[in-house]
A and B are shown apart, each in its own frame.
Chain A
Amino acid sequence: MTHPGNPDLTGNSVTPTSAQGLAATGVDVTTAGAAQPPAPDQGGHTPANGWSPAGVLDKGWARLLLGLLLPAALIGAWQWSTSAGLFSVVQLPPPAMVFEAAADLIQRGELGKHVAISTQRVLIGFGLGAGLGLAFGALVGLSRVADVLLAPTIGALRAVPSLAWVPLLILWMKIGEDSKVTLIMIGAFFPVFTTVSLALRHVDRNLVEAGRAFGLKGLKLLTTVQLPAVVPSVFSGLRLALAQAWLFLVAAELIASSMGLGFLLTDSQNNGRTDRLLLAIVLLAVIGKITDALLGVAEKWAVKRWA
């Protein structure tokens, strides 16, 4: 998920969504041949009577519970390995110690600050980067001139490893919010740019022509026909970008910061506080997953609305 702008990865994530869209359309068209329109219920795989594994797997609460099975088992194994003395406390403190570390940091009012500043940086950087990625992706995807002029440069910039920007950004913007947000922005830009520009090139020509035939052009054509047609791709780009944003956040905060989850990582490493270190990792996992899930909800809504 977190390879910076890997084209294969982004390419793969575009295709299945559009294929799904096609498949769904095909099914609907055949069922719609009947005199009455089909019922809008799309998720009704569950048989009315009786129990079926597939039916349970469709239920939200069941999915949540089943998804939590593995984390629970991991915590169990963690607890067991520490109490069995397989690792020293410095190597791997027991879960309870990590919990206490969290309680301690909350009491001092530090944990909230770390989480808040990191989340803020990610959201701002992601927002700006994704916005620019969308704008440039639209430009390059729709205009051949822009493609010829911009695509080689953007491709070369994408090839620069993320951390290579850090010294330059610090030199230009000093160690502050600007340099961190900019780095995250760079990270979020490329997945959105790549997926959007590629997807726009493959929008159904017939639909675009129909739009043009009815006088749509420029921005109006983009917002009426082209962008709605690539909504699934835009969202897979956004989700990759969000993962990248968290990756770049930690890179930025590891190198130079006095607050944030990345700072908590380095600070704990320097002080030998493995419990806080683990806490930071768990928090990154949980917050990263929550933001991704929120984006997933938005995606579900958008795909239903636009596809």
Chain B
Amino acid sequence: MTALASSARPAAAASSQARRPDLSSALPVSFRGLRRTFGTGGSAHTVLRDIDFEVERGEVLAILGPSGCGKSTLLRATAGLDAPSAGTVNIGTTPVQGIDPRCAFAFQEPRLLPWHTLQANVAIGLPKSASAKDGKAKVARLLELVGLDKFAKHRPREVSGGMAQRASLARALARNPGVLLLDEPFGALDALTRIKMQDLLLDIHAAEPTTVLLVTHDVDEALQLADRIVVLGKETGREGDGATIVRTVVVPGERPRDRGSAELARMRSSLLESLGVEGN
């Protein structure tokens, strides 16, 4: 694992200088008046409201917010796993209706099929159009990209949590997605593995640039990975309503960014303040 992360570093650095060589498969996403209410009548409660936002093609967008603020709901609406109560999500120029083949999802848990090998699990992500031969080659390439080529024949329970999460990432990439949706994909990992996974994600994004929507509650992770950060939360005075976008931040600097930079530290405390964490 260590070997992979460190050996892949120079490649990532090189490609981020020649920024985003190929954006052919990346797609822009736009949210128009998105609202999601659960339940009906008296028990109805709105989770998200008035989400109007554009994500550029190839952009890495982090979605920050306190837990329960509808971050995952936003992501699920983009994937078509959940239907908004009002408004639309557009990918490219067409709206999302039902599960969208242009998206790929990596969940907080790996969610691999325990009876399949990692290889077979990654293959589940392949688009329907893929031929058997191309699919096999692609799975092999992705397993190599996430450093699991030696574990292709292992079952998920035979590998560590971080490895399973990497397989889950490879499965999402196998879809060749226009939009990659990551729902706190590193949240359940230990700190060291998380940093390695973040680096891996940057490498992957450099190798296969796609639009990335990353839900996280980790401010540092957002600052490290994203081009822009949106903060979801409740507006003061409208706490009874659902969460909406309360802040948008453009993160300066090329990736990989210096984790100790003073500018990022300032942004960090400012973002934490937006999230309702006082102090520092």
Q: Which A residues have a C-beta under 8 Å from some C-beta of B?
A: 25, 28-29, 32-33, 37-38, 40, 206-207, 209-217, 224-225, 228, 305-307
Contacts and interface: CB of A to CB of B under 8 A. Distances in A.
Contacts of A33: 160-161
A213 B180 CA distance: 12
A32 B107 contact: no
A29 B163 CA distance: 12
B160 A305 contact: no
A28 B156 CA distance: 10
A213 B105 CA distance: 7
A224 B124 contact: yes
26 contacts: A25-B114, A28-B158, A32-B157, A32-B160, A38-B158, A40-B158, A206-B107, A206-B109, A209-B81, A210-B105, A210-B107, A211-B113, A211-B124, A212-B81, A212-B99, A213-B79, A213-B99, A214-B104, A215-B101, A215-B127, A217-B99, A224-B124, A228-B113, A305-B115, A306-B115, A307-B114
Q: Which of A33, A207, A215, A216 has the most CB of B within 10 A?
A: A215
Interface in B124-144: 124-125, 127-128
B159 interface: yes
A228 B114 CA distance: 9
Contacts of A206: 107, 109, 111
Nearest to A204: B111
B159 A32 contact: yes
Contacts of B128: 215
A113 to B, nearest CB: 43
Nearest to A216: B124
A37 B101 contact: no
9 tightest Cβ-Cβ pairs between the two chains A and B: A210-B111, A28-B157, A306-B115, A213-B105, A37-B158, A228-B115, A206-B111, A33-B160, A214-B124
A215 B99 contact: yes
Contacts of A214: 104-105, 124-125, 171, 175
Contacts of A209: 81, 111
B53 interface: no
A29 B157 contact: yes
A13 to B, nearest CB: 21
Interface range for B: 20 to 34
Given A37-B154, A211-B113, A224-B113, 14 more contacts: A25-B157, A29-B157, A29-B161, A33-B160, A37-B151, A40-B158, A209-B111, A210-B105, A210-B107, A212-B99, A213-B81, A213-B103, A214-B125, A215-B127
A225 B109 CA distance: 16
Contacts of B151: 37
Contacts of B161: 29, 33
A214 B180 CA distance: 12
B172 to A, nearest CB: 8
Contacts of A228: 113, 115
B89 to A, nearest CB: 15
Contacts of A37: 151, 154, 158-159
Interface string B166-195: 000001000100000000000000000000
A225 B113 contact: yes
B101 A207 contact: no
Contacts of A40: 158
A234 to B, nearest CB: 13
A217 B80 CA distance: 14
A228 B115 CA distance: 8
Contacts of B160: 32-33
A207 B111 contact: yes
Q: Which of B109, B111, B125, B159 has the most CB of A within 10 A?
A: B111
Contacts of A306: 115
Q: Which of B107, B114, B124 has the most CB of A within 10 A?
A: B114
Nearest to A25: B157
Contacts of B101: 215
Nearest to A304: B115
A38 B157 CA distance: 10
Contacts of B113: 207, 211, 224-225, 228
A148 to B, nearest CB: 20
Contacts of B104: 213-214
B106 to A, nearest CB: 9
B206 to A, nearest CB: 24
B60 to A, nearest CB: 20
A307 B115 contact: yes
A28 B175 CA distance: 29
Interface string B207-245: 000000000000000000000000000000000000000
Nearest to A307: B115
A28 B157 CA distance: 6
Interface in B54-83: 79, 81
A40 B103 CA distance: 36
Contacts of B111: 206-207, 209-210
Contacts of A217: 99
Contacts of B159: 32, 37
Contacts of A38: 158
A28 B158 CA distance: 7
